[in-house]
Amino acid sequence: MSLTEYRRKRQFGKTREPEPGKRLPNGQRAIFVVQLHHASRRHYDFRLQIGDALKSWAVPKGPSYDPKVKRMAVEVEDHPVDYAGFEGEIPKGQYGGGHVARFDRGVWATEGDAEAQLAKGHLRFELFGEKLKGGWHLVRSGKAARQPQWLLFKAEDEYAGKLEADDLLADVTAPPQADARRAGAGKPAKQRHTTVAPAARRRKRDWSKAAAKLPGARKARAPEGPFVPQLARLGQSPPQGEQWLHELKWDGYRILATVADGAVRLWSRNALEWTDKVPEIRAAVEQLRLTSAALDGELIAGQGSREDFSLLQATLSGEKQGALAYVLFDLLHLDGVDVSAAPLVERKALLQQVLGKPPPHLAYSSHIEGDGAAAHALAAERHFEGIISKRGDRPHHPGRGDEWRKTKQLLSNEYAVVGYTAPKGRRNGFGSLLLARPDPQHGWTYAGRVGTGFSDALIAELSERIGKAGRSEPTVHVPPHDTDLRTAKWFAPRFVVEVYARGTGSQGLLRQPSLKAVRADKDVADLADSDRGGGGPGGARPHRKGPQGTRGKAAARSVEGATSKSASRKAPARAAPRLSSPGKLIFPDIRATKQDVADYYLAVMDRLLPEIAGRPLSIIRCPGGAEKPCFFQKHHTPGLELVSFARLKEEAGNNANYLVVEDAAGLMELVQFNALEFHPWGARADSPDLADRVVFDLDPGPGVPFAEVKRAATHVRRLLEQLELESFLRSTGGKGLHVVVPLDPGCQWDLVKRFAHGFADALARSEPRRFVSVATLKLRPKKIFVDYLRNSRGATSVASYSLRARAGAPVALPLAWSELPRLKCGDAFTIKDVPARLKRRRKDPWAGIDKVKQNLARWADDRSP
């Protein structure tokens, strides 16, 4: 918009009003400001940022919250954006001479093109300030006048009422007394209020009783800050099975919402606070009237489709206007109750109840059960990026894992920006950005360059961000290729971009890349936990060598590149890392500290290590202790110096570096990193396709007494004996029991899974009143779920002697079958009594488990045992 008229009317040598040419920093949302102006006639100046200027109106009586009251608004000249910060005196004799005070300021939004709406004569918009909130209208009057006249009035919404602007002057700077007398017109200031709250249209309800009914629910304090979200793994096609819930993949920014004592705070995925950045979302969550909560969802613009992502970015940067919404898909805490342990399908059902008819700017992410192909087709039809498939029968697991899967229509991935090329032709700033992906061998490897998909404003913003940084020598590994980079400038990985590409070429460089977004919500360090899980284009993890190179080349040599067990076992014993924060409470209910956890694992090391050494390993880490959010980890990350890794192919076809512990030092390094639980594969890292364990998890549903679980374990043992299979018993540290069948020689995973599935199905068919072989929640009350799903490549079971991140610090403990009649519950053994129990025990109940010669070869051609 033109500022010529603004400049013509002012003598900037005589007034402190800002001269055109400046603007607010990039990356801020479009603002509005209302100023109380005591000029020759007292009035309110109402200004909306559109582009690089403030579209302005003079409103003599000020805005009214009564939708029936339409206030005249006279269009005046556009003002520069930095006029929003102006307060004080305009000298007498200058245009608009008098006192200016800020009445309100915030961000504003509208659906559609603001200039096009103004040209048609009707602008519908929302204000998010301290005083002016909710929906408003500006309608051009048909009256002939020297200056265009409009009508400003309130929309019918939850903020509508009888308040006037003059009722909201309690904190507005008053003019000098002389100016107040000269201003004359206008009502006397009532000065009663400083802000406006919405009318309580929704009755406050205590949700704690409903939350407490969910499986695994427990009382807990309100979240004090951002929690660790559950993340999805990228796959090639949607997973199949009734247990999967398939949601649209909303193309936006992940936002975590926490509520404590009714106060709402919003966080990005990497724990940056966004509360003030999206005030309409904060206000919408406040309208739910929750005492405490932890909500997970996606911030979107428009419909949240692939085409709307650029609108979201432009809205957040102030370049455009778009209506924002928060699409909610998970609920982890509600009114004093932690529900994160409940199955996702039940958490979502409760979330839907809480939302009811959602307030404006909130939405519920619905799903399709079981039919992933139909969901994927629907996403394509509606121009969404893809779908997210989630195990509906599983609790919340922080971090990235296989229980959430991502299937995209057009592949994109994230890369670190490590340099740029010079611009050509009329382009300014840079020609293209140089990209790199994490690499376990080199740290970072050049992945290609992207030069399309940038707006002029984004080029200017990034050029300013990069500045004069750069050198001629590459800062990352550059494999041989044909691309000319002689004029390129390089720097250390600086920020993250997401790029569309048509795969990679023979040299490993991206084919036809185009920019999707600059990911301000992610750090370079986040690329070590990409949705591709390590390996493959853009997905490998950086890898650091241990002290004096003790990790050695053997640690990366195997079938599929897995760790070499024999080589690492010959290495000299290594010292465990120093334990930091030994006094930190990990299990507050029993006052057990991090030192107590370390002492426990040292006490059981000789028995635990044979259970996990040399196997791909998943861990549960609890940095804040067992009562705070924990997260699931299975991939090697930077900073681990004593833990090896196995480079294994995942179900999606990419390679990833899986954790592998080889000795006590490695295990204690994970304890130092706040690992509480250890969950190994049923296969070794050097032969990951051969299972050497079958695990049947007997998981009691509601209403099943533990005596029935014990009877079921004995029954399973006898059935296995009829199949000439010896089995072993383990308490899980939870509600149930494990019956474990060793295999030597090992068997292929497809055979093991088929056997376990067939055994569980046969058991459920023979005694349907006692057993169920599917995870469907409505079928599980008063029955025992025979969980066979731990018997597939990549699945894990808790290790014997592992702690559980639960109240009381229970332990998963191997037992002799003769001990079963005296066992009182599945979590009968704890951190405090297991070491002493082991000292008293004369014989290991699992002695010889690895020497049992048995396999499933006789069932290789059968569908079930």
* CATH code of the domain in which 301 resides: 3.30.470.30
User: Among 484, 503, 529, where does a domain finish?
Assistant: 529
Tokens of 398: 């922080």
The whole-number pLDDT of residue 187 equals 47
- Checking if the pLDDT of 562 tops 90, the result is no
Taking the C-alpha atoms of residue 421 and residue 487, their distance in angstroms, rounded to an integer, is 7
Looking at the domain assignment, is residue 193 inside a domain?
no
Looking at the domain assignment, is residue 750 inside a domain?
yes
The whole-number pLDDT of residue 122 equals 96
Residues 256 and 404 in one domain: yes
The whole-number pLDDT of residue 425 equals 77
Q: Which residue has the higher pLDDT, 235 or 733?
A: 733
Looking at the domain assignment, is residue 201 inside a domain?
no
Report the 10 Å Cβ neighbour count for 557. Answer: 15
Exposure string over 315-349, b if 16+ CB within 10 A, otherwise e: bbbbbbbbbbbbbbbbbbbbbbbbbbbbbbbbbbe
Taking the C-alpha atoms of residue 749 and residue 739, their distance in angstroms, rounded to an integer, is 18
Amino acid occupying residue 283 = A
Residues 624 and 506 in one domain: no
The whole-number pLDDT of residue 253 equals 93
Cβ–Cβ under 8 Å, residues 356 and 377: no
Looking at the domain assignment, is residue 104 inside a domain?
yes
Looking at the domain assignment, is residue 206 inside a domain?
no
Domain count, the chain: 5
Report the CATH number that the domain containing residue 444 is assigned in CATH: 2.40.50.140
* Band (530; pLDDT cuts 50, 70, 90): low
The whole-number pLDDT of residue 827 equals 95
The whole-number pLDDT of residue 529 equals 65
Residues 42 and 172 in one domain: yes
- Checking if the pLDDT of 559 tops 50, the result is no
Residues 491 and 610 in one domain: no
- Checking if the pLDDT of 24 tops 80, the result is no
- Checking if the pLDDT of 689 tops 60, the result is yes
CA 113 to chain centroid: 31
Residues 523 and 555 in one domain: no
Residues 585 and 629 in one domain: yes
Report the CATH number that the domain containing residue 640 is assigned in CATH: 3.90.920.10
Looking at the domain assignment, is residue 515 inside a domain?
yes
Looking at the domain assignment, is residue 213 inside a domain?
no
Range 548-553, long-range pairs (CB < 8 A, 24+ positions) = 550/574, 551/641, 551/644
Q: Which residue has the tokens 């969550």?
A: 285
The 3-class secondary structure across 330-375, one letter per residue, is EEEEECCEECCCCCHHHHHHHHHHHHCCCCCCEEECCCEECCHHHH
User: Among 652, 686, 720, where does a domain finish?
Assistant: 686
Label residue 721 left, alpha or beta by phi (over 0 means left) and psi (-120 to 50 means alpha): alpha
Residue 249 is among the residues annotated as catalytic for this protein: yes
The whole-number pLDDT of residue 190 equals 52
* Band (22; pLDDT cuts 50, 70, 90): low
The whole-number pLDDT of residue 545 equals 32
- Checking if the pLDDT of 533 tops 70, the result is no
pLDDT more than 70, % of the chain: 89
* Band (427; pLDDT cuts 50, 70, 90): confident
Residues 285 and 179 in one domain: no
Average pLDDT, the chain: 86
Exposure string over 262-278, b if 16+ CB within 10 A, otherwise e: eebbbbbbeeeebeebb
Taking the C-alpha atoms of residue 751 and residue 766, their distance in angstroms, rounded to an integer, is 22
Looking at the domain assignment, is residue 557 inside a domain?
yes
Taking the C-alpha atoms of residue 775 and residue 783, their distance in angstroms, rounded to an integer, is 11
pLDDT digits (tens, 9 = 90+) for 276-333: 899 999 999 999 999 999 999 999 998 888 778 888 888 888 878 888 999 999 999 9
pLDDT digits (tens, 9 = 90+) for 794-810: 999 999 999 999 999 99
* Band (607; pLDDT cuts 50, 70, 90): very high
Strands 362-364 and 324-334, how do they pair? parallel
Taking the C-alpha atoms of residue 857 and residue 22, their distance in angstroms, rounded to an integer, is 78
How many Å from the N-terminal Cα to the C-terminal Cα in the chain? 77
Residues 631 and 694 in one domain: no
Residues 106 and 248 in one domain: no
Domain that holds residue 818: 688-859
User: Among 620, 654, 686, where does a domain finish?
Assistant: 686
The whole-number pLDDT of residue 556 equals 28
Supply angle C-alpha 776, 778, 783, rounded to 5.
85
Taking the C-alpha atoms of residue 239 and residue 235, their distance in angstroms, rounded to an integer, is 9
pLDDT digits (tens, 9 = 90+) for 165-207: 999 998 888 887 645 444 443 444 455 666 777 766 678 899 9
Report CA-CA distances (Å) from 826 to 374, 454, 709, 725, 814. Answer: 41, 58, 9, 24, 11
Residues 855 and 792 in one domain: yes
- Checking if the pLDDT of 229 tops 80, the result is yes
The whole-number pLDDT of residue 637 equals 74
Taking the C-alpha atoms of residue 630 and residue 633, their distance in angstroms, rounded to an integer, is 10
The whole-number pLDDT of residue 176 equals 74
Residues 444 and 360 in one domain: no
Average pLDDT for residues 627-656, to the nearest whole number? 80
Which residue out of 249, 320, 406, 634 is catalytically annotated? 249
- Checking if the pLDDT of 596 tops 60, the result is yes
- Checking if the pLDDT of 36 tops 90, the result is yes
* Band (542; pLDDT cuts 50, 70, 90): very low
Residues 700 and 667 in one domain: no
The whole-number pLDDT of residue 222 equals 83
